[in-house]
Each structure stands twice: as structure tokens, then as C-alpha cells.
Amino acid sequence: MKLYDAIVLGAGHNGLTTACYLARAGLSVLVLERNPHIGGAAVSRELYPGWTYSNCSYVCSLLRPEITRDLELPRFGLQVVPYDGSCVFTQDGDYLASYNDHEVHRREIARHSKRDDEAYDRYALAVMRQCRFIKPLLMRMPPDPTSLKPRDLGELLYLLRRFNDLGEMEMYDTIRFWTMSIAEYLDEFFESDVVKAQLAGSGIIGTALGVCSPGSAYVLLHHYMGEVDGTIGAWGFARGGMGAITQAMAASLKASGGEILADAEVAQVTVEGGVAKGVVLANGDEYKARTVISNMDVKRTFLNTVEARELPGDFLEQVRRFKIRGSSGKLNIALDGLPSFPALPDDSPARRGDMHFTDSIERLERAYDDWKAGTWSADPYLDTLIPTQTDPTMAPPGKHMMTVFVQYAPPKLATGPWTDADRTAFGETVINQIADYSPDFKDLILHAEVRTPQDLENEVGLTEGNIFQGELTFDQLLFNRPVPGYAQYRSPITGLYLCGSSAHPGGGVMAAPGANAAREVLRDLRAKQTVRGS
Amino acid sequence: MTKLHFRTARLETPFHPRTSAACETNEWVNWAGYTTVNVYSQVEKEYFAVRNGTTLFDLSPMIKYRVRGAGATAFFNRLVTRDVTKLKPGRVAYVVWCDDAGHVLDDGTLFCFAQDDYRLCCQERQLDWLLDSAIGFEVSIEEESEEIAALAVQGPTSFSVLTAAGFTGLDSLRPFGIAESEGITVSRTGFTGDLGYELWMAPDQAVEVWDRIMAQRGNYDIQPIGSAALDLVRIEAGFIATNLDFVSAEQALRHTRGRSPFELGLGRLVDFEKGHFNGRRALLAERQAGAKYLLVGLDIEGNKPADGSLVYLRQRKEVGHITSAMWSPTCKRNLALAMLRRPYGDSITKDLWTEIYVLKELKYDRQMARCHVVERPFFNPPRRTATPPLPY
Amino acid sequence: MSARKTDPGKTVIIGGGHNGLVAASYLARAGHHVTLLEAAGQLGGAAVTGEIAPGFKAPTVAHILHLLSPTVARDLQLESHGLSLSAKRLDTVNLDEAGGHVSLRDGQVLRASRSPISDDDKANLAKLHRRLVRFAGALRHYLERQAPRLGTRNTDDLVTLGKLGLSLRLLGKQDMREFLRIAGINVYDVLEDELANPLIKGAYGLDAVLGTHLGPRSPGSLITLLYRMAGRVDGAAGALALPRGGMGAVTQALAKAAQAAGAELRCDSPVARILVDGDRAVGVELDDGTTVPADRVVSNADPKRTFLELLGPGELDTGFLRRIKHLRMRGTAAKLNLALDGLPGFRGLSPEDLMGRILVAPSADYVERAFNHVKYGELSDKPALEITLPTLQDASLAPGGKHVCSVVVHYAPYDLKGGWDQAREAFADKLIAQLAHYAPDLPDKLVARQLITPLDLERDFRMTGGQWHHGELALDQFYMLRPVPGAGQYATPLPGLYLCGAGCHPGGGVMGAAGLNAAKRVLADQEAGT
């Protein structure tokens, strides 16, 4: 039987990234994917004839540019096209748009509040400062603050030095930013509720927090610290859908000699004497490897695929209490034509970007109260895009595809698991909200895929349907992610690693955990280092 | 404001019908969301018109705030570093204002119409800062940039031209004075360092005022000038520009980029005796500890403008950088403003060099040019301040 | 030492709450000529006993003593000035809506009715409580120290930061990891992880959020629980006590201590403004126009009141004011004081149970649902309650055989939609009805009631926003960030003006540590000659 240098469990963007870096170091790598298709939550799927859905993640910004370059993703077909504009529809028939052009954007805010218009630059700069602070930390291993090892001390010192470089007031502002709610943070800049509502959405997407929950300001960074072609905070479409990213990674991997096996569900990681030796598939096939690297979330990895007796009790306890509550649903809709939004002028660039229908902080927070009570939001926060206006490859000419991200939907309802009737009712809630602002929308629907967190778990394998593979709260960030003492991609089992978003720096189609994990594996194997940074 | 403003990404100023007709080059620049002329015909021609005849410059995009109320004087006295209680109605003051750290947010001109009625005219938008500064003061603040059109009429013959065009009362108008004439506010202010005036009016008066002045072309040389020429004359005059020579403290991503009035060579505008003002405690501390930087005027050997160059001590040690540079056709000197790390430019002024890249047939040549720290303004003719102005 | 011999001069203290009194004592003992000016007719701020009906005395606002600094009590010899406790270790009895209850003390389950507590829960609770006490103990040391500034080269700051790092390490690897994990977590998740019984979780969940604008699910609510547990009564961490004679007795003892130290305490002396000359605070002017000159001014008024009203923005920089403006001070709790002509019977509770502290917090979810409303300026549909019957410990508070009942109501917003005037009586009625669910005969025994809303707290006790702590307790308003950067070390941007109230580190509760720390800072500055 072939002994691989590394087996990667799961062909999501992080698993593929790890595999690529390892293969580029000359290691023999096998990626095992449970589904017949690869990509994890970065997929493009034809679920209605002629239409391609990015049916999980749907826009691109966070993917680290250094990874795109290292893995030569453009050469393997990845093209990211930025989009302009965004808007929030207000209940009084107006809207607040945002535009890429600074002056046009400014004047749009001024329509709602002159003061907020002139405060916007101060806000953008404050957030940019936070991005600037955090960005270099993304591609580094978090230090263990309890350790006295030179590398940990060095990394800790690096962290402290970067913090100290901020200057006194900015240090305080940074602590405050990390600990405040997005609503409170925005209150320090803006007076207009709709301006705040527009910006606050980024603080809750994918989280089990509300806009009033302390810590949600930080989450905002997970939607701001990305870039397209050096423009920080810009978002774009991967041409051909988000699957284009993972397809390019797969092609890059194959070009470096890596292997991918689909329809290969892992049943168990084989462990002997505390060392990972390989895996056994559900169909009984066995594969052996020097290292096993899991792209699955920390719960799925250690609670489902490793025998409990192989793991220390306190580690298992920590894994069990890892917070990974799903909070988001998704609708993917095939449309017979472009829906009209009477509030928006026909030529408005805002309709080409993300559209929202929640115009106040209170509505956003009430949506969260519903989630806490174990129901989907009666008045949810939607992040709606029609990418086919930009990307011609995803629907026939003149036809369109709409992607609707829905915040909030619980992993399990107060009444029990999601039923088909629940799913239908949930979909109707979302469709009705959009239809309130688009009279012809319902008539244009050809097909709608409604996905609950439960569906996401069943299909992609994300526990409880959490899109970040674990919530982004202080107790699960940096050296606490996924659990204290095991934040450096390694596990209590020698040769078993984590490379998914459960690890630092967390979720979003960023691929940083995958790269960071590869760096640690290569160090441990004393192989050629292909990942930059430390 | 309509919802359709996205269709007009750049606004037109009230003078646009005239400026666009006069613009031969079609070289436009975005200034605060307005499309404005960069060069009408030739930069040199426009430059010499400022120093020789009369020029018109459309400064409508300037940001203007109207501040009214019983607390207006106290508000400004706390906002800016100068003593505003000394500013009399009918007078204008050049002011800077700082954040808590004593770093300059912006500079501008403060018009006092009455003790309870002021206009602040500046480059950067800061309603947010002004409103927070107004907490506890009895004032109302209104952004009126779009409601006021403005035209700079500058040059040695500007007094004569305006008088000929029917504006009265200018002969007794001293520098930084305000006069009302023909329903238009005229201030003897400007950004050129020469004799000149700025006219402030309602947008619907703009075209008519332009035409009235231009009607004097038969007797005087009158040229519209664009931003490119203005940038040359303002350097000669020693004026600094926000976000060219220094970064507004609220726009600096890195906290170390803020600069104090002392560092910008504007210490004369700081009045520690007048009571509390924004940044006072930080500036006092800075005065005690010594400023970190100093903006200086440089005279550079040779005739190649040194834009964006680094400044070295003994051709080796980097001590600062050039913020603005030009060849001055009037002074016949190669001039620059430079931000140097103290004590360079202050107590150490010898053996300073700047590295200039000169483009020669598509190839850059690196040249080291010796530079000398010199007094500003570089150009300051008596006609600038003579009252009554000399007629031509 | 020569500096000590010189006359430290006059110090004016604005406000005679417990922190003002503590600062007055320490400064007077150090030789300052202290004049303390209290706007109200009596000293004590929010720690006062008031007569709600003839002969019925209730703790007007604060009703339980759990954080009083042992250092302050010892240094100021409060016992010799008349402070004694009528109860030292109050049990906590938490009620559920179906008539069941659980009785807790120091992490032990004393009694439980209806639903028995599993052995697992008992063991896990004891373990969790011990761990929390351990962490709270590590924090305790920092309550009575000035918070450091960041990014300075000041030796004291660096030493404090170094010690902070060291005490984290001294927790040991496992505890340090756990502390770093939970430092910013919400109390709800920790309780869910460790415990099953909803009543126990409800009790801890409510304790974590009392006086804050947080719900149990708000991140940061675990540290507020630790903060609460950092107190020590009689050597027991997190224990609850009642002073004999009501909460006013604490401030009376503090006042006696201050007077004994030579401080002059003046009531009915509302300060109109702080006087400034030559960029220095030089005294105050009273509402009646008289001035009290001083070499320094120490303000026990809340930060917003101090800077925006008493000092005025003209002496401050805009950036600092912006921070003050954004200091969050949203009051969330109301107080209901009842005069009763007999002891009410609570369903399922023995008379012994009534001696303790009674909570209505049937589950952490219940508390969270109560919190939902306050976010939107609404009254909690079913508020969580903290109830004491102080007359059971101290019969002197009411005529013979009669009782007072003191209830903290969570949540009631300061900025109630529609305004308080409309809602006040209906809300009081609703609270009585809610109490009647647990104590059916309580309405029949009612002689008088007093509802103190957050708006009343602002008007009558001069707490901006009706915020108990003079500034919400939240991670971004803790420690060196409290009340705002630039005033986090008691000294303010204006030389000669200091803060000493709960708006400063370490915050509210009848603790006195802010007053103690502020006094130390004043004395340190005086030694340094600034």
C-alpha cells in the first residue's frame, strides 16, 4: 500500500490550499472528499438546468493575495471581477446606496445625513487602521501565551510590538474595537439609522451575535480585511462562481502532482500509539500516510473521526464546548429575467452589488432575538446579489441568478429539527421580504433552492451549519482557536493536523488557515518550506 | 439633492458655462467632487498672468461652513490656535486647528462678519469635528459649500480691473479685509502671494460677475487660470496645502504622520496666552520637549524640480522628504518645501542634498543636488499689501 | 519627604457619595484641608436609607453590600465609626414561575424544591464557583490600584503591566488558558457548558448582568460576574451582606470617618461649576453663587456631569469630549421599595428563606428575554427581580411587626419609548402583580410603594442616564478604558481636576475603591509637585 506523505480530509478551499503547498514542497499528497464534487463551501453547482449557483459562499474578497500568487490560481483559471455598489432599501420607498466613487458615495450619504457624510471618512479610516493591524497576523501561527518556547515568545513579542507601534490612543481604540458591538461602534460615528444599518450588516454575517452584542465590531473585519487588486475592503465575483476558486486550486494541485479522490467519505483516522497512521473510508478502503490533515471542523474531526480513547479527556471536553452554532441560511434562485426594484433607478450601479432590506439597527437586532428563541427571523437580514449582471457564465443570456444570504436561521428549531414544511416557510419569509421591494420578483422565479443550517451540515459537513467552522468570538480567536493549547494547527495526536476555518484566523474564503497549517506540517516533516511568513 | 446624482459623478461649479468655454486644453481635475480646470491654455502663460496681470480662478469647490450664534467667537477661539477675540467684524484670519495631540487637522480662512456670524473656508470636510467641537457652545453650524460660489481675482492689476468693473470701496480695503460691493462679498485674500481678491456670491450671480470682469479685457490682460498654475504661485508664496505638505491628522492612517503647527512652521499662529484651545496642552508639551519635524523652504541648486525626492545629509543619511517643488520663473530659483526630521533644517542646515530623478529621453538620471534652507515666503512683493493698492 | 511637610492646601470634593467620602477621608488624613460639597440634604449618594412611608425605612437605591473594599473598611476604621453588618452571608433563593426554588450559598446548593438538583450539577457548580472565585481573586488585587496607561515609558505603568502579565502566568498553565478563554465570553455559554439546572443558571446569569446593559448572552458578561465576585465580606469571596441600619449606615460611617479625619462635609451645597484659572482647577462655584477656592478639585460626580456640565467643554479638547460624549451610561434597572404591614408569604419559601436574597430569574433565557426589551427602549415583559426584606435582619427599619421590601427590577430603560410619565404607575402595578405571583398576599399587605426609575435616578441622584455605575460596565469601558482614555487614571486633562467616582476604575457597587485610588493619585501628584 502506498504511504502518502500527507492525506488531507476534505477538498474545501483550505484543504486544497494545504495540499497545494505540501505538493509544491515535493510531498506526495492525497485529498479525500466525501462529496462527488470538490470545493466544500466554495462551489459552483448546476442545480437547475442552465443555471450555475454559488450555492454556499458567493462573493470573493478575503482570499489572501499571497496565496493566489503562490498557487498560481490565475494561471489555473481563476478570475476575480470586482463589483460596484450596494444598497439598503428603506421602508419609506427610498434607499441608501453605496458607490465606489468617493464623491458619489459621499453625496449619497449626505442625502440621509450631512453629518454622517462628513463622518464617513473618519469611520473608514478607523476601520482601515484595524485592518492594518490585523492583516499581518492572518498568515502567522498564533503564539501560545502560556509557553516559554522561543518561537512562542518571539511571536508573542511580535504581537506586542505591533500593538505597541499603534501609539497610545490607537491602542485603546483597538481594544475598544475588539470588545464593542458594531451598533455601539457605529454610534460613535453616525447619527442616521439607515447609515448604521447599512454598515452593521457586516458585523453579523455568519455569526451567532446580534448587532448589539459586544464583539460584533470585530466580525466586521472578517468582511473588510479582504481586497481585490489592492483595494482594501473591495469585493468581487469569481468568474464562474465560487467553485472557480476551488477548481483552480485543484488544477494547481494536480499540476504539482497531488491527487484528489472524490466520493471518499472518511470513517476514521487510524491512530497507533498516539500517532496518526492513515484513514479508513466508509466503504472500508484504507490509506496510509505520515500525516493526516483535516479540513473538517474541529468537532467533526475529533468527535466523529477519531476514537475518543485516543484523545485526552480535557481536550475532548474543550472540543465539545467549542461554539459552532449556525446562524445563516441561503436561497439560490433562478430568475426568468432581471427583477425590477422600483425604488432604484434602472441604471443604478447599486443593483449590481449587494442589496439589503433592513433599514434600522432595531430591525437587525430583533432578527437576532428570533434566532436566540430558536426560530428563523421573521424579518431577516438579507444579503442579496444578482451576480449574473456581471458574470455572463452563470445563466443563459437575459436570465439571471440571485443569491440570497439569510441571517438568521438556527441550526435546530425550538420545535425540533427542521422539517420540509419549516424549510418552505423559511423560504417564503425570505421571498416575501424581497417581493415587498420588487413587485415582479415572484413571477420571475423559475427555481429556488432553500438551504437551512441543517442542510449545510448535511451537504457540506459544517457542524450545525456554521459557515465559519466555529464562531468568531474572543473565546475562539487567535490562541483560543479552536481550543486553548491547540491553536497551532497540531492536535494531541502526533501527525494529525487541522487546516480548516476552525483554526486561526477563522472563516471566510480566505485560505489562510490552510496555508498556515501547511507551514506547520512542513516544519514538522522538515520538508522544504513553501509557505512564507512565520 | 436627487437620487440620480450617481449619473453625474463630478458636479459643475456655477462658473462652469464660462470655465468650460475658456478651457482650451480640456484638462480637468476632480476637486472635492467638482470638475475643475487644471490648465486653460498653458501653465506658463497662466502663471505669468498671476504675476503680471489679472487672473480668475474658480474656487467654488472650497468647503464652507457658516457658524452663527452668541457663542461663535468662543467656539472658534477654542477651535483654532489663534486668538479669535482679536478678529474684528469685516476681517479675515488665516487659521489652523488641531486635534487633541496638537496635530493640524486643516488650515483655512475665517471670515468674521459679526461677533456672532462667521464663515470658515477650508479644504477638507469636517462637519463632524466642528459639530463635536460645538458641544456646549451656543452656535449653529451649516455646511454651505454649494450655496456660495467663489472666484479669486488675483494679480498686480486686479485692483484696477475690479474697480473698472464697477466694484467700489476696494481702495481702502486692507489685506484680510472684507467689503460688500454690488451685493457681492469681496475679501482681500488669496492663495497667490500677490495683490488679489476673492469674491463670494450666490451661484446665480456667478456668470454675470465673471462676464463683468472679463469685459475689462479690452484694457487689461485677464486670464482664467487652472489648478496647475495656482499650485506654482502658492509655493512661491510659501503657502502649505493640506494633504500635499502635511496630512490632516484625522486622515492619517499612521498616528506618526500628524504634524503640529510648530512643525509646519506656523508657530506664529499659536497663542498660548488666550486660554484653552484644542491641542493646547499637547502643544505646550511639544514646545517644552521640542518638535520632531520641521517644514522648511529649500533653494535647490540646478533647475530640476525636486517633487517627491528624499533629502539627505552628506548625500547619505536620509533626513526628510520634499513635499512640494517648482522652478520659480519669478525668483529664478529652484524652490521646494521639505519636511525634515529635526534638528535637520533647524540647527543642522549644512550639507543637505536632495536626490532628483530627471527624465532624459525615457531614461531617468539620478542627480544629487545641494540644497539650502531659506526663509519663506520665497516671493513677497510690496504690491501684495500696499493700501491703497497701486493702480496700473 | 520634604514635600509632605509642605501644606498640601485645600481640596474640594464634589459629591458626598461613598467614593467622595472615602477620598475625603484619605486626603484629610494626609493633611489636606478637605471641603466636601453634597448637593442633596443628606450624604450618601446612592447608598442611602430613605423613609418611604412614616416609620418605614428602605434602602433607596443600593440594597446589598458585597464589594466594600476591605482596605477602606480597615484603613478608615469603619467599625469604630458605627458600621456593623446585620447579615454577613446572605443565601440566594431563586424562584421559578411554577413555585419551585433553589437556595444557594458560595456555590453550594442548600435546598431545592420541586426539581431536585442532580449530583453532577452540584459538583459542577461547586467546581465552577471555585474557579470563578479563583479568577476573581486574581482580579481583586487590581481593583485597588490605578490602571496603567499603555505605550508610555512610565515605570509605574510598566510595573503594573508586568505584574498583570505575571499574575496571569501565576495562575498556572491550565487556569491561565481558561482565563484567557473566558475573559471575553458571555456567562450564558459558560453556564450552558457546565450546568443543567435552569434555576442555578438563572441566578448566576442575573448576577452577571445586574446594573449593566448586558444580557447573559452578551459577550463580556462573564467578566462582570467575576467583578461582582471580586468582593469579599468577612473573608468570603462574592458574599452578600446587609449593613445594620440600612445602606445609609455605610455612608454614615464613612462620613464620620471623614469628619474624624478633619474633612468638612457640607450638604445642600450643589456645585454649579468648576472654576479654572491658568489652565488649572482652582475651586468651585455653588448654585447660590458663592465660590469655594481650592488647590484642587476632586469630583465624585459622574464623568459626563463633571466634564460637560460642571467644567464645560471650553476647557477640554474636542477629541476627549467626543469620548466623553460616547461614554455609554444607559441605566437599565429600576428600584421598587414597598412598605408592608406584615410579612408576605412567598410560595414554597420558609421564613428562613426570606432572610436571604430572593431572585426571580427562573433561567438564563428568562433573563435574556427580559434584556431583549431594554435594547429597544421597552420595559421587560417579565422582568428579573432581586428582592430583599431588610426588616427581617434589622427590625429598626419599620414599626413593630411591619416590613419593608426592596426590589431591584431588571430591565427598565432610561430612554423608555413614550416616556416614563405615562408608564410609571402602570409599571409599578405590573410589578406588584408580578410579585403577587410569587407572594400572593403581598398586595393585601401593601402600605406604600416607591418606584425609582432610571430617569428618577438621574434627576434625584444626579446619575447621568440613571446608570448605577456612572458608566456602563462593559469590556470597552473597563480598567484603563474607564471612563475614557485620557482620564483613566483619576487625573483629567485639566491639571488640578480629578475624578473619584464609580465612573472610574474599578467602577460601581458600594466599594469605595475608586475613591481610595483617586486619593492615592492625588497624593502621588502632590509628591511629584504637579
SS3 state at B236: helix
CA distance C411 to chain A (A): 16
pLDDT 10s digits, B67-88: 999 999 999 999 999 999 999 9
Grid cell locating A162: 505591533
**Helices and strands, number each (H, E), in chain A:** 17, 20
Task: Note whether A149 contacts B: Cβ–Cβ < 8 A.
Answer: no
Q: Predicted ipTM?
A: 0.95
Cis peptide before B343 (omega within 30 of 0): yes
Handedness of CA C505, C511, C515, C521 (dihedral sign): negative
The verdict on a CB contact (< 8 Å) between A108 and B6 is yes
Which residues 288-347 of A have a C-beta within 8 angstroms of B?
345, 347
Task: Note whether C524 contacts B: Cβ–Cβ < 8 A.
Answer: no
Nearest CB neighbour to A164, from listed C151, C176, C476: C151
| Global pTM exceeds 0.80 | yes
Taking CA–CA distances from C220, the nearest residue in chain A reads A214
Q: Report the residue of B1, B2, B3, B141 to disrupt the A interface, i.e. the one with the largest count of A CBs within 10 Å.
A: B3
pLDDT 10s digits, B203-250: 999 999 999 999 999 999 999 999 999 999 999 999 999 999 999 999
Q: Specify the DSSP class assigned to residue B350.
A: T
Residue with cell 427599619: C397
Q: Say what percent of chain B tops pLDDT 70.
A: 100
How does DSSP assign B195-211, residue by residue?
A: SEEEEEE-GGGHHHHHH
Q: Which residues of C touch A172 (CB under 8 A)?
A: 150, 480-481, 485
Contacts of A491 (CB under 8 A, 6+ apart): A301, A302, A315, A497, A498
CA distance A103 to chain B (A): 5
Determine the pLDDT at residue A231. 81
Nearest CB neighbour to C326, from listed A164, A188, A214: A188
- Choice among B40-54, B282-296, C134-148 with the minimum mean pLDDT: C134-148
Handedness of CA B273, B275, B281, B283 (dihedral sign): negative
On the CB side of B154, how many CA atoms lie within 13 Å of its CA? 30
Q: Which residues of A touch C372 (CB under 8 A)?
A: 369, 372
Grid cell locating C192: 450552558
Q: Using 50, 70 and 90 to split pLDDT, how confident is the model at A228?
A: confident
pLDDT along chain C (530 residues), means of 10: 66 97 98 97 90 94 88 95 90 95 94 89 96 91 92 90 90 93 96 96 97 96 93 77 89 96 97 97 98 98 97 96 97 97 95 94 98 97 96 93 96 96 96 97 97 96 94 95 96 98 91 96 90
Mean pLDDT value across residues A68-73:
97
Task: Note whether C171 contacts A: Cβ–Cβ < 8 A.
Answer: no
Determine the pLDDT at residue B52. 96
Long-range contacts of C207-210 (CB under 8 A, 24+ apart): C209/C367, C209/C371, C209/C410, C210/C333, C210/C386, C210/C408, C210/C410
Task: Note whether A161 contacts C: Cβ–Cβ < 8 A.
Answer: no
Determine the pLDDT at residue C141. 84
Which H or E run includes C266?
Answer: strand C264-266
The verdict on a CB contact (< 8 Å) between B74 and C314 is yes
Give CA–CA dist C81/C258, Å, rounded: 10
Are A482 and A502 in contact by the 8 Å Cβ rule? The answer is yes
Determine the pLDDT at residue C46. 85
CA distance B250 to chain A (A): 7
pLDDT 10s digits, B148-188: 999 999 999 999 999 999 999 999 999 999 999 888 999 99
Grid cell locating C223: 467578566
pLDDT 10s digits, A311-363: 999 999 999 999 999 999 999 999 999 999 999 998 999 999 999 999 999 99
Mean pLDDT value across residues A185-201:
97
Task: Give phi and psi for A336, each to the nearest 5.
Answer: -75, -15
Residue with cell 539650502: B372
CA distance A461 to chain C (A): 23
Grid cell locating A390: 456581471
Task: Note whether C277 contacts B: Cβ–Cβ < 8 A.
Answer: no
Q: Which residues of C touch B137 (CB under 8 A)?
A: 313-314
The verdict on a CB contact (< 8 Å) between B279 and C322 is no
Q: Which residues of B touch C319 (CB under 8 A)?
A: 99-101, 278
Are C209 and C224 in contact by the 8 Å Cβ rule? The answer is yes
The verdict on a CB contact (< 8 Å) between B281 and C493 is yes
Residue with cell 405615562: C422
Size of interface B-C (CB pairs under 8 A): 46
Nearest CB neighbour to A104, from listed B9, B250, B256: B9
Task: Note whether A148 contacts B: Cβ–Cβ < 8 A.
Answer: no
Q: Is C44 left (phi over 0), alpha (psi -120 to 50) or beta?
A: left
Are A58 and A388 in contact by the 8 Å Cβ rule? The answer is no
Mean pLDDT value across residues B56-63:
98
Handedness of CA C128, C129, C130, C133 (dihedral sign): positive
pLDDT 10s digits, A232-277: 888 899 999 999 999 999 999 999 999 999 999 999 999 999 999 9
Determine the pLDDT at residue C1. 36
Q: Report the residue of A89, A113, A114 to disrupt the B interface, i.e. the one with the largest count of B CBs within 10 Å.
A: A114
Q: Which residues of C touch A188 (CB under 8 A)?
A: 322, 326
Cis peptide before C483 (omega within 30 of 0): yes
Are A142 and A476 in contact by the 8 Å Cβ rule? The answer is no
Are A34 and A265 in contact by the 8 Å Cβ rule? The answer is yes
The verdict on a CB contact (< 8 Å) between B136 and C313 is yes
Determine the pLDDT at residue C5. 55
Nearest CB neighbour to B100, from listed C314, C320, C325: C320
Q: Can you state the angle between helices C187-194 and C221-229, rounded to 10 degrees?
A: 80
Determine the pLDDT at residue C439. 97
Determine the pLDDT at residue C2. 41
Which residues 429-488 of C have a C-beta within 8 angstroms of B?
486
